[in-house]
Copies of this chain bind each other. A is one copy, B any other.
Amino acid sequence: MSVFTEFTMMKNLHRAGGKIVLLVMDGLGGLPMEVGGATELETAHTPNLDRMASEATTGLSIPIRPGVEPGSGPAHLSLFSYDPVKYEIGRGVLEALGIGFALQASDLAARGNFATADADGTITDRRAGRISTDECIRLCEKLQAATGDILPGYEVIVKPVKEHRFVLVIRGDGLGGQLTETDPLVTGKKPLLVEDESGTPQGAHTAELVNKWVSAARAALADEPKANSLNLRGLASDPGLPRFPEVYGLRAAAIAVYPMYKGVARLVGMEVVDFEGERPTHEVDALEKAWDDYDFFFVHIKKTDSYGEDGNFAAKVHEIEEVDAVIPRILALQPGAVIVTGDHSTPAKLRSHSWHPVPTLLWSPTAMPDQVQSFGERACASGHLGIFHATNMIPQAMAHAGRLGRFGA
């Protein structure tokens, strides 16, 4: 069964219905810090999410494959119903989309990291001392001036992202291949050359162009005190995914603070809503304002993941409680279906993304209320959704919102 066949089926089944909210608390799933303890979500006081769980159908979702720790991009593709093992997307593409850069289909994009190197080029700091975003902007302007036209027949675009991170885009015909990264991944080593693993003339040509640019860019940075070198990762082009709005017949909006999540939403054809502020309450302000203009809303909460990665159990608990507090405002909009989930687990105990299945609820007036009465990892294990692949979530939300017709007579 190909993905295209599943998507074709969806295209043939969708119809008008209620609005759908996909509320993603990044890295939601957790672990007890000690034997016999509770997870972050189980610890949080969440009367609104618990009431939703008691009215909803619940379960545990597997983002990629059982046991596979998800990266942010693939995990979100999966939530949007695109199997990330089938649709592999380069990090450069995600970063470019994340900063709102209008990537063209033939562009090659890479994620760049400013770095510090010693005299012989050995990397001593892979993040250049985490320079400020202002410094990143200055460095990108410097690189743009020095390297913008050094590749004859190609346009080079260098854009800042945040801190030590930037995006490189090479625009022109005939780019491609399977390109390796320059980052040695540890300090004390020299950067690598970009190589092509596709074995195509196009790939060899592209690798040569990129290496030429990297060399010129490092020369232009040579006099910088901190960011005197750089690395490129995730070199790839837009994979041309099926459009989410077409597959499901939904006017789809993304409400997110961080560039990466806006990027992955754009990649599947969602529109990104601009708004002021960074807290969950500001995101719900934006949701209320955009409510009449769209059918589907992806709302992304970042800090749950950040606090998990910091190992800050209490702050993650608090962030979940902040989200709980805005739930009544979401339900007051009378959605047809609301999914509350995470893109993956980020247990404070592990200070990292992890492979553990993610607590998930699907609330809707047409949901089968299972026996689960609270929203938590252990509670959801006995829910009606079972332990399921995250790609199955959107079709079920579509059904609950009355947006999928009958398959067969």
| Chain-B contact segment, one of A80-88, A269-277, A324-332 | A80-88
Please tell me if A241 contacts chain B, counting CB pairs below 8 Å. no
> Which of B5, B66, B366, B385 lies in contact with A85, CB distance below 8 A?
B5
Cβ–Cβ contact A1 & B408, under 8 A: no
How near does chain B come to A326, taking the closest CB pair, in angstroms?
Answer: 23
With the chains together, A49 CA to B345 CA distance in Å?
Answer: 27
Cβ–Cβ contact A73 & B1, under 8 A: no
| Chain-B contact segment, one of A126-134, A188-196, A369-377 | A369-377
Which of A35, A71, A387 has the most chain B CB atoms closer than 10 A to its own CB? A387
Which residues of B are found within 8 Å of A406, using beta-carbon distances? 69-71, 353
Which of A32, A368, A386, A398 has the most chain B CB atoms closer than 10 A to its own CB? A368
Which residues of B are found within 8 Å of A354, using beta-carbon distances? 366, 399
Please tell me if A383 contacts chain B, counting CB pairs below 8 Å. yes
Which of A9, A88, A353, A408 has the most chain B CB atoms closer than 10 A to its own CB? A408
Cβ–Cβ contact A67 & B387, under 8 A: no
Please tell me if A357 contacts chain B, counting CB pairs below 8 Å. yes
Cβ–Cβ contact A407 & B68, under 8 A: yes
Residues of A whose CB lies within 8 Å of any CB of B are 1, 5-6, 9, 13, 31-32, 35, 39, 55, 59-60, 64-75, 83-86, 88-89, 91, 94, 111, 233-234, 350, 353-357, 366, 368-371, 377-378, 381-388, 392, 394-400, 404-409
Contacts A382-B381, A386-B386: A31 and B366 contacting too (C-beta < 8 A)?
Answer: yes
With the chains together, A396 CA to B370 CA distance in Å?
Answer: 26
Cβ–Cβ contact B369 & A350, under 8 A: no
How near does chain B come to A185, taking the closest CB pair, in angstroms?
Answer: 11
> Which of B67, B234, B370 lies in contact with A398, CB distance below 8 A?
B67
Which residues of B are found within 8 Å of A72, using beta-carbon distances? 408-409
Which residues of B are found within 8 Å of A397, using beta-carbon distances? 67
Which residues of B are found within 8 Å of A383, using beta-carbon distances? 381
Contacts A71-B406, A392-B66, A409-B91: A35 and B9 contacting too (C-beta < 8 A)?
Answer: no
Contacts A32-B369, A366-B350, A382-B382: A69 and B387 contacting too (C-beta < 8 A)?
Answer: no
How near does chain B come to A57, taking the closest CB pair, in angstroms?
Answer: 8
Cβ–Cβ contact B387 & A381, under 8 A: no
Cβ–Cβ contact B369 & A85, under 8 A: no
With the chains together, A385 CA to B407 CA distance in Å?
Answer: 25
Chain B, Cβ-Cβ closest to A77: B408
Chain B, Cβ-Cβ closest to A366: B350
Contacts A31-B366, A60-B386, A65-B395: A408 and B74 contacting too (C-beta < 8 A)?
Answer: yes
How near does chain B come to A112, taking the closest CB pair, in angstroms?
Answer: 13
How near does chain B come to A121, taking the closest CB pair, in angstroms?
Answer: 24
With contacts A67-B404, A69-B407 known, what are 11 further pairs, Cβ within 8 A? A31-B368, A60-B384, A67-B396, A67-B399, A68-B395, A68-B407, A70-B408, A354-B399, A371-B382, A377-B384, A381-B382
Which residues of B are found within 8 Å of A409, using beta-carbon distances? 71-73, 91, 94, 111, 233-234
Which residues of B are found within 8 Å of A407, using beta-carbon distances? 64-65, 68-71, 74, 84-85
Cβ–Cβ contact A355 & B404, under 8 A: yes
Which residues of B are found within 8 Å of A388, using beta-carbon distances? 66, 387
With the chains together, A399 CA to B59 CA distance in Å?
Answer: 21
How near does chain B come to A257, taking the closest CB pair, in angstroms?
Answer: 18
Contacts A1-B83, A64-B407, A85-B6: A69 and B399 contacting too (C-beta < 8 A)?
Answer: yes
